[in-house]
């Protein structure tokens, strides 16, 4: 500053600080308590562990995702510590949680995952990131975060669902004032960092970005669910103690030991190297009284003829009958190469009987016949399952 006049750079800096303070909820900005960070980290650890298992089945490689690290960050923190460009996958929760978050992946990692999903070996990563890469990673994230939502449903004891994820290629040099950046990134937000390893092809960091409001909502749901299932005081604690005492008494009676609060008779000092007297030897190989289980005979009249007549009630239920000429498996790349005239070899030998399935269940074999102008199947063998 010269003579009390601010330069344009200083004015811009002051405006940016003011905007950040407003978005962050004050001069100090928003923050999370240690309990909130621990809970969010635990939720991320379990949900991303499930997502890693799903991704492993998609790429046919072992996928490992490390324990998450929960921190608070701003847009400048992300741009300084991450390669550019990268892929933003936006995940919006539609049931159970209200809000969205962003998963950030390196562009080269997306190319490797796409190549593996299309049947490659993960080394075909030349060229620019295109629509096929974004479509493939969106589908992968749809399945990964879908399984993650299932884990969250079990953890939070409520239904959780998401909308299909949307992937975009983002140049991190863009400012948050650009229309392509989410609103919550204009201030401070929660950053959850993971280390993702896919075989010997990928070893890098991925990030999840949460708005503070979404992170706190997840924490509150987690806390309430834990309180409901953990008796800490009052009647819940008293009932839990009664159950524990009752179990201790039952186990003691079975072992020939006195109930809680009663003196233990006939026992020597256990730590003096002497045998314990007055107790049955549970592992001494003594005979055990074993008897066959006795079941009460069924009572009432059982009429098999009547049972057979009742099957008439479902005789008009329609079933899907499928005739399968053969099967084969193709990679996504091979299917994309299909064109008129392409010949697909099946797993059946010419002249071999075809399979007849009812509601997807294999029930018979047959041969193809022609009835006037239609194909038909003559049953040659009924399969006994």
Q: Kind and range of the H or E element at 290?
A: none
| Residue ranges covered by each domain of the chain | 15-229, 317-337+344-382
Flag whether pLDDT at 4 surpasses 80: no
Least confidently predicted of 169-173, 183-187, 245-249, 268-272: 268-272
Question: Which token pair is 252?
Answer: 């003691």
Q: Are strands 354-358 and 361-371 parallel, antiparallel or unpaired?
A: antiparallel
Q: Kind and range of the H or E element at 28?
A: none
Whole-angstrom distance, CA of residue 50 vs CA of residue 46: 6
Q: Residue 101's closest CA among 20, 16, 180, 192?
A: 192
Over residues 209-260, the pLDDT tens digits come to 988 888 888 888 888 877 776 655 444 455 445 545 544 444 444 444 444 4
Question: Which token pair is 15?
Answer: 């405006």
Flag whether pLDDT at 104 surpasses 70: yes
Please give the angle made by the CA atoms of 215, 223 and 30, to the nearest 5 degrees: 30
Alpha carbon 293 to its chain's center: 43
Q: Give domain 317-337+344-382's CATH superfamily.
A: SpoA-like (2.30.330.10)
Tell me which CATH code domain 15-229 carries: 3.40.1550.10
Question: What does pLDDT average to over the chain?
Answer: 74
Flag whether pLDDT at 332 surpasses 50: yes
Q: Comparing 15-229 with 317-337+344-382, is the CATH topology the same?
A: no
Whole-angstrom distance, CA of residue 365 vs CA of residue 357: 9
- State the pLDDT at residue 364: 92
Please give the angle made by the CA atoms of 357, 358 and 364, to the nearest 5 degrees: 45
- State the pLDDT at residue 198: 92
Whole-angstrom distance, CA of residue 313 vs CA of residue 259: 59
- Specify the pTM: 0.52
Mean pLDDT of 37-47: 86
Flag whether pLDDT at 63 surpasses 70: yes
Mean pLDDT of 119-135: 86
Whole-angstrom distance, CA of residue 188 vs CA of residue 24: 6
The count of C-alpha atoms lying within 13 angstroms of the C-alpha of 282, restricted to the half-sphere facing its C-beta, is: 6
- What are the helix and strand counts (H, E) for the chain? 9, 12
Angle between helices 131-156 and 107-117 (to 10 degrees): 90
For residue 243, the cross-strand partners are: none
């Amino acid at each position: 500053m010269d003579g009390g006049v601010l330069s344009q750079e200083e004015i811009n800096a002051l405006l940016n600080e003011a905007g950040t303070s407003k978005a962050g909820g004050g001069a100090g900005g928003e923050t999370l308590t240690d309990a909130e960070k621990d809970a969010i980290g635990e939720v991320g650890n379990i949900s991303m562990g499930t997502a890693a298992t799903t991704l492993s089945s998609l790429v046919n490689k072992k996928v490992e995702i490390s324990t998450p690290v929960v921190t608070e960050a701003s847009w400048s923190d992300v741009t300084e510590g991450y390669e550019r460009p990268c892929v933003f996958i936006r995940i919006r929760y539609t049931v159970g949680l209200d809000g969205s978050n962003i998963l950030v992946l390196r562009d080269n990692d997306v190319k490797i995952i796409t190549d593996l999903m299309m049947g490659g070996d993960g080394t075909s990563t030349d060229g620019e990131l295109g629509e096929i890469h974004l479509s493939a990673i969106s589908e992968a994230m749809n399945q990964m975060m879908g399984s993650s939502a299932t884990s969250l449903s079990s953890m939070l004891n409520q239904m959780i669902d998401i909308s299909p994820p949307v992937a975009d290629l983002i140049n991190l040099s863009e400012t948050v004032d650009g229309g392509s950046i989410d609103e919550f990134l204009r201030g401070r937000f929660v950053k959850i960092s993971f280390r993702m390893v896919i075989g010997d092809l990928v070893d890098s960091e991925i990030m999840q970005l949460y708005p503070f409001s979404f992170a706190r909502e997840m924490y509150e749901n987690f806390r309430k669910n834990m309180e409901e299932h953990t008796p800490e005081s009052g009647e819940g604690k008293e009932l839990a103690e009664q159950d524990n005492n009752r179990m201790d008494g039952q186990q003691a009676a079975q072992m020939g030991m006195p109930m809680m609060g009663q003196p233990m008779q006939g026992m020597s000092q256990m730590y003096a190297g002497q045998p314990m007297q007055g107790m049955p030897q549970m592992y001494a190989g003594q005979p055990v009284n074993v008897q066959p289980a006795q079941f009460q005979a069924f009572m009432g009249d059982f009429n098999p003829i009547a049972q057979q007549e009742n099957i008439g009630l479902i005789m008009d239920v329609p079933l899907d009958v499928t005739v399968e000429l053969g099967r084969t498996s193709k990679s996504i790349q091979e299917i994309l190469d299909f064109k008129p005239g392409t010949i697909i070899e099946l797993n059946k030998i010419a002249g071999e009987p075809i399979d007849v399935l009812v509601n997807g269940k294999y029930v018979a074999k047959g041969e193809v016949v022609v009835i006037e102008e239609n194909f038909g199947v003559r049953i040659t063998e009924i399969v006994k399952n």
